[in-house]
Structure 1
Amino acid sequence: MVQASSGKFLDEETYSRLMGFVAGMFSGVAKNTVGHPFDTVKVRLQTSQGTGRFKGPLDCVYKTLKQQGPRGLYLGFTPPLVGWVLMDAALLGSLHNYRMLLHKYVYPEYEKLPLSGCIISGVMSGWTVSFIAAPVELAKAKLQVQYGPGTTKYSGPIDVIRKVWAQSGVRGLYKGLISTLIFRSNFVFWWGSYELITQWFKNNTKLSDPAINFWAGGLSASFGFWTTAFPSDVVKQIVLCNDKCDGSFKAWRDTVRDVYQKQGIKGFFRGFVPSFLRSFPANAAALAAFEFVLRNSGAKPS
């Protein structure tokens, strides 16, 4: 039994389930602090295809700093700061809970959850968090593509939500849900590779657990997830930023066709460099924070 702040006691399993969500909140803070400038550059490159606005990631950084200063790289920071706390709490909290449930009911004969269980729980957590992520990413994307005078349509994340709601209601806020679900289906590669890399480090190195979490988190996110998921992220961002798109599966397919016709295969990798560079430090910090809090909270391992 674990004593809660109220003086009442929680059983170990309930406490562990709750701590998964708490640890996810710390992960969200770490991820957004490290990764947001990279994400801004990525989104601007993805949504400016065919406009000639930027020659590449370095040109995007230079022009953003010249025109808007360092603040330009942190436009849209508030929704993901709040959003990443909520999303990582939901993502990693549900991941931890799905792992516990699978271990208890599907893989009870295993001492440790096998690779298949890690993959299944990872994909399920990705689909779960999509219902929180869709409106948060909508607000973030719309703010990130405001380039200054003449393009400033929204004053902040609340203004985005308010105007989208007034125009299209709930459907408008969730216009990117299909794209978000497709994008996060690639979690099969992230959590599968995270488990494989973690086990390799444990079996072949003398690194501490926090160091292993850091390196496994960064490598799995960069090479396991973003290299496979990036094309669907490009489509997702365009769907979110296109006011004429309703976010349906048909709209997702139309966007895929439009990107291919205008840019070819390379169009699906526009903005890849800043995204790839961001993914390692942001996710390494995030998963190290998550595992550290979970491990030191005394929560039952999954």
Structure 2
Amino acid sequence: MTIELEEPPLTQDNKQVFKDLLGGTMGGIAQVLVGQPFDTVKVRLQSAPEGTYNGALDVIKKLLANEGPKGFYKGTLTPLVGVGACVSVQFSVNEYMKRYYDQKLQGRPLSLLQFFNCGAIAGFANGFLASPIEHIRIRLQTQTGAVKAFNGPIDCAKKIYQSNGLGHGIYRGLVPTLFRESVGLGIYFATYEALIARELRNDKSIVRQDIASWKLCAFGGLSGYTLWIGIYPVDVIKSKLQTDSLSKPVYKGSIDVVKKVFASSGIKGFYRGFIPTILRAAPANGATFAVFEITMRYLG
């Protein structure tokens, strides 16, 4: 399948890479500010022992009662900096790969598979950055009660490293993160580009830069849906590993998580927290793509 993209040829230069990084950073900041409350609810549901919560609404009620509205933004500093960096890597590598294919194909349109490859490579590169950032964020998000194990992201990273080192500590959950990012972002970016191409085919009087902001939000939201529908169980596996005890871990690895979750909860165990994730997908990813595209237009 070939997708026609009616836009000017892409150029490979340092200035363009800087623009991609800046655009991705702005998109990442928008994603965190819009999506963090949903993500906190999702992580609480994914990581809490069986029976702790009766669903997303129960998490919200207990969080408001025990921690107040600011509880939804617990650990926000880490994702604000970290997700900004992650989305920056995602978008810049994806755009770089699109330029690579554009040169290789000498201006011929990229296929859907090639767009998937661009996103998958971007996801794999991003996984090495996302894994430790998400690990620290999740540790902070799941802290409850008056006594806190960690006093912020730096203290959290320091204590994880001191107790478990790099591979089994800071980078715990790396394998499922790499799989989630590679497959997920391949689907994510391919879906978005397919929707953009469809819009340009339907209205041949416009170019990419003319597409309305609300449509960019809608395309980003739909891309977020396909991302999470495709890889959500892998995210649960990753979260189980990253919220496991540092001193007395319950899980030996990803396969052990799969066995134990299935034994205790069946298939539904891999979809705990799915509703807040899907509710988050449209606004968070819509904001991400819209802010990225608008920033790129502003930068020229």
- Common topology (TM > 0.5): yes
The change in CA–CA distance for 1:19 and 1:53 in structure 2 (over 3 A counts) is same
Matched residue count: 282
Give the C-alpha shift of residue 49 in structure 1.
4.0
From 278, 281, 289, the equivalent of 1:279 is: 281
Match of 1:82 in 2: 81
Q: Structure 1 unaligned runs (5+)? A: 1-10
Give the C-alpha shift of residue 201 in structure 1.
2.9
Instruction: Note the alpha carbon deviations across 1:145-176, whole angstroms, 9 max, x for none.
Output: 112235x2111111110001111222211112
SS at match of 1:55: coil
Equivalent position amino acid for 2:214 in 1: A
Q: After the TM superposition, which parts of structure 1 deviate over 4 Å for at least 4 consecutive aligned residues?
A: 244-247
Equivalent position amino acid for 2:171 in 1: Y
Partner Cα separation in structure 2 for residue 63 and residue 268 of structure 1? 23
Please list, as runs of the form range in 1=range in 2, the aligned pairs for 1:22-37 lying within 5 A after superposition. Answer: 22-37=22-37
Match of 2:58 in 1: 59
Partner Cα separation in structure 1 for residue 263 and residue 95 of structure 2? 41
Partner Cα separation in structure 2 for residue 12 and residue 94 of structure 1? 12
The change in CA–CA distance for 1:293 and 1:123 in structure 2 (over 3 A counts) is same
SS at match of 1:186: helix
Give the C-alpha shift of residue 198 in structure 1.
1.9
From 209, 215, 221, the equivalent of 1:218 is: 221
From 185, 207, 211, the equivalent of 1:208 is: 211
Partner Cα separation in structure 2 for residue 260 and residue 19 of structure 1? 45
From 161, 169, 180, the equivalent of 1:165 is: 161
Give the C-alpha shift of residue 244 in structure 1.
5.0
Match of 1:146 in 2: 143
Contact 1:175 1:246 in 2 (8 A): no
Q: Structure 2 unaligned runs (5+)? A: 1-10
SS at match of 2:13: helix
Instruction: Note the alpha carbon deviations across 1:52-99, whole angstroms, 9 max, x for none.
Output: 111000110011001100011111111000101111111111111111
Partner Cα separation in structure 1 for residue 189 and residue 212 of structure 2? 17
From 123, 127, 138, the equivalent of 2:124 is: 127
Equivalent position amino acid for 2:218 in 1: W
Contact 2:24 2:90 in 1 (8 A): yes
Contact 1:103 1:117 in 2 (8 A): no
Alignment pair present for 1:293 and 2:295: yes
> Percent identical across equivalent pairs?
32
Match of 1:7 in 2: none
Alignment pair present for 1:190 and 2:193: no
Instruction: Note the alpha carbon deviations across 1:176-230, whole angstroms, 9 max, x for none.
Output: 21110111122222122112222223334688342332111111111x1111111
Contact 2:217 2:289 in 1 (8 A): yes
Match of 2:46 in 1: 46
Alignment pair present for 1:241 and 2:239: no
Query: What is the TM-score with the length of structure 1 in the denominator?
Result: 0.88
Give the C-alpha shift of residue 127 in structure 1.
0.4
Give the C-alpha shift of residue 245 in structure 1.
9.1
Query: What is the TM-score with the length of structure 2 in the denominator?
Result: 0.88
Q: Aligned-pair RMSD on alpha carbons?
A: 2.1
Give the C-alpha shift of residue 250 in structure 1.
6.3
Equivalent position amino acid for 1:273 in 2: I
Contact 1:65 1:72 in 2 (8 A): yes
Contact 2:123 2:186 in 1 (8 A): no
Please list, as runs of the form range in 1=range in 2, the aligned pairs for 1:77-116 lying within 5 A after superposition. Answer: 77-105=76-104, 107-110=105-108, 112-116=109-113
Give the C-alpha shift of residue 12 in structure 1.
7.0
Equivalent position amino acid for 2:291 in 1: A
The change in CA–CA distance for 1:122 and 1:246 in structure 2 (over 3 A counts) is farther
Contact 2:176 2:234 in 1 (8 A): yes
Partner Cα separation in structure 2 for residue 245 and residue 113 of structure 1? 49
SS at match of 2:253: helix
Equivalent position amino acid for 2:134 in 1: E
Equivalent position amino acid for 1:56 in 2: G
